[in-house]
Homo-oligomer: A and B are copies of this chain.
Amino acid sequence: VSRALNAAKRDLVNAKTVVRIVRAAESLGYQPNPIARSLKTAKTNTIGVILPDLTNPLFPPIVRGIEDVLQPAGYTSLIVNTDNDPGREESLVQSLRSRQVDGFIIATALMDHPLLDELHRQGVPLVMVNRRPHHLNVSCVSPDDAHGAELAVRHLASLGHRRIAQLAGPSNTSTGLARSAAFHSTMKTLGIEDPPQLTYTCDYWTEESGAQGLRSLLDSGVEFTAVVAGNDLIALGCYDVLAERRLSCPDDLSVVGFNDMPFVDKVRPALTTIAIPSAQIGAEAARVLIETIDDPTRTPRSVWLPSSLVIRSSTMAPVVRDSLVTATA
């Protein structure tokens, strides 16, 4: 019966018998019990998905992408939130391992990540999303952060901005580092002055952190007409500070975000930002993970998905102030 009902081994059994068995199974309303199967095969067809926080609008689309691939492949995902708490993360991973998940998709990795090391050493199939810890040889899928940051800077430059500040994401994340590095190298390429005072590194990927960053920049007295934010949340934090100081975006300050989160087209002003293909990122991560599970010896893959500039209303040519520069747009 087991052979007849299992599509993969069905050919080991007489076609007529198969029919007979299938018919009987149907008439009895038989449903295989995946628990018993898992016990025998040591495979649960279950994937642990580790997120910082599902409530961050960045993640639901990624999760949808993951599920869109996992479900048809017969996998179920267990989604957990770490709230960026390494302790919580560790216990969640532990708990998922004891639940015998077949692999992990991890979107929380910091640069330095003992847990990852361990999973990797133990040969647990895993793929990182949005993060790439360079010293580890694991599969990663993320947007092209460097190209995205470059697009942001070039957009601003083409608008005529020459004093461009950066509110970088946390430097303990590969994303923060990659975007920031690309910011600096693009500034250099374009021959725009890029003094350290114009970069503030946020502690978190949050509005509060972004707000704090812009306040600090504004208070420092450096001049700048535009800011590129590490992500959309940081950019929205800028909006708050601008409102609180009665400054206008984009008249007083152009701001560009990163991620093109849902609803940033509805904020005021609609946010110019770098769009990333969230669903594809999730889908690709799931695909890579399944490949890794099917063939654990496969060499890890690193995939970058293209990011693109979405111009909306939060950027414009700098307004001329006690200076003779003429805006070009």
Q: Which residues of A contact B (CB under 8 A)?
A: 31-36, 38-39, 44, 53-55, 57, 60-61, 63-64, 67, 76-81, 97-100, 236, 239, 262-263, 266-269
Contact = CB atoms under 8 A, between A and B. Distances in A.
B76 A99 contact: yes
6 pairs of A and B residues whose beta carbons are closest in the complex? A268-B268, A55-B60, A266-B267, A54-B60, A31-B98, A35-B38
Nearest to A268: B268
A5 B111 CA distance: 37
Contacts of A81: 64, 67
A243 to B, nearest CB: 10
Interface of chain A: mostly helix, strand, loop or mixed? mixed
B61 A55 contact: yes
A282 to B, nearest CB: 11
Contacts of A54: 54, 60, 63-64
A262 B266 CA distance: 12
How many copies of this chain sit in the oligomeric assembly?
Answer: 2
Contacts of A80: 67
A64 B55 CA distance: 8
B39 A36 contact: yes
A34 B80 CA distance: 18
Nearest to A240: B266
15 contacts: A35-B38, A35-B99, A35-B100, A55-B61, A55-B262, A57-B57, A57-B60, A57-B262, A64-B81, A76-B78, A78-B78, A263-B266, A266-B267, A266-B268, A267-B267
Given A34-B100, A67-B81, 14 more contacts: A31-B97, A34-B98, A35-B38, A35-B39, A35-B100, A36-B39, A53-B64, A67-B80, A76-B99, A77-B78, A77-B79, A236-B266, A266-B267, A267-B267
A97 B80 CA distance: 21
Contacts of A99: 34-35, 76
A101 B75 CA distance: 15
Contacts of A35: 35, 38-39, 44, 99-100
Contacts of A33: 39, 98, 100
Nearest to A38: B35
A57 to B, nearest CB: 6
A67 B79 CA distance: 10
